[in-house]
Amino acid sequence: MTARRWGAVMSAMVTPFDAAGALDLDAAQRLARWLADHGNDGLVVSATTGEASTLSDGERCDLLRAVSEAVTIPVLAGMGSNDTAHSITLTRQAQALGAAGVLLVSPYYNRPPQAGIEAHFRAVAAATQLPVMLYDVPVRTGRRISHEVLVRLLSEVPNIVALKDATGDPPAAAALLADAGPFELYSGDDSYTLPLLAVGAVGVVGTTTHWAGAEFQAMIAAFGRGDVQLAREINQRLLPSLRFVSTEDTVYSMSIKAMLRTLGLDVGECRLPLPAAPAGTQELARQVWAGLKNTGA
């Protein structure tokens, strides 16, 4: 298994807002410290779960600065966009603010061909000395990064060192590790963490890790020492959390914020177009939390 520079369990952190919808940096620092104390080795700010598309550039920088000051664990910055020049500007700002690395999602909406995707990543990586984690999430971007492009990027660009894989395709991940390794493969979908560990992943950049970081740590550690049965049992205990975090009515940021309120962490509501969580979400969060702790080791 490739060494982990950022750890095994990282949360794509939600962004706290106050009652007026403004960025709440004090709440962000409290949340970051809580996550660091509850099983997270690192954090990713201003990514999809952090509602990056609704944050201004200044808010992204303020959030990165505040969270980095609050914790000693690595903090990566989600600085990708579908505009290469804008991504370069954001990435340079992240470097100036002392980020431990950047997460770069492949360009979304405009769906460039593979040549454009590759050129985009090469240009942004060339603009920084920071280590880069690519993010392949075709359900959001509309275009999967091809195997050949990933092999070239991971093999030829020195500071592209990791991939957050949200393709739901473990066989393809195994082939990529064989052809482009060594690099750090992280599950970008919590439910695929155990399958991807089986082919060589080093950990997860998660969502349910906001409240189940300790369980993911235990599962990854059990698998690493060869206790596959225990890893399977922990994965089964995580299933209600995995079902809760994303439904037709409550997507990730909404569900996570409801769960955090259950834990006594007020992070506000989401910004539109994500609405307030529907009635019953809070009660379901309490049930999921109680069930997870009642079935814990």
Question: Do 206 and 10 form a contact (C-beta atoms < 8 A)?
Answer: yes
- Two structure tokens written together for 22: 């403004």
| Start-to-end CA span in the chain (Å) | 26
Question: What is the 8-class DSSP label of residue 54?
Answer: G
Tell me if 14 is assigned to a ligand binding site: no
- Identify the active-site residue in 135, 186, 192, 252: 135
Closest CA to 103 of 166, 31, 162: 162
C-alpha 266/C-alpha 20 separation (Å) is 14
Q: Does residue 12 sit in helix, strand or coil?
A: strand
Question: Do 12 and 47 form a contact (C-beta atoms < 8 A)?
Answer: yes
- Asked if 257 is an active-site residue, the reply is no
Q: Does residue 192 sit in helix, strand or coil?
A: helix
Question: Do 9 and 210 form a contact (C-beta atoms < 8 A)?
Answer: no
CA distance to 88, 198, 220, 223, per residue, from 201 (Å): 28, 7, 10, 11
- Identify the active-site residue in 164, 192, 252, 257: 164
Maximum distance among all alpha carbons in the chain?
50
**Phi and psi (nearest 5°) for 182?**
-85, 140
Tell me if 49 is assigned to a ligand binding site: yes
Say which residues have a Cβ less than 8 Å from residue 294's Cβ, sequence separation at least 6: none
Beta strand extents in 85-202 (DSSP E only): 101-105, 132-136, 160-165, 184-187
Known binding residues for pyruvate? 49, 205
Q: Which residues carry out catalysis? A: 135, 164
Known binding residues? 49, 205
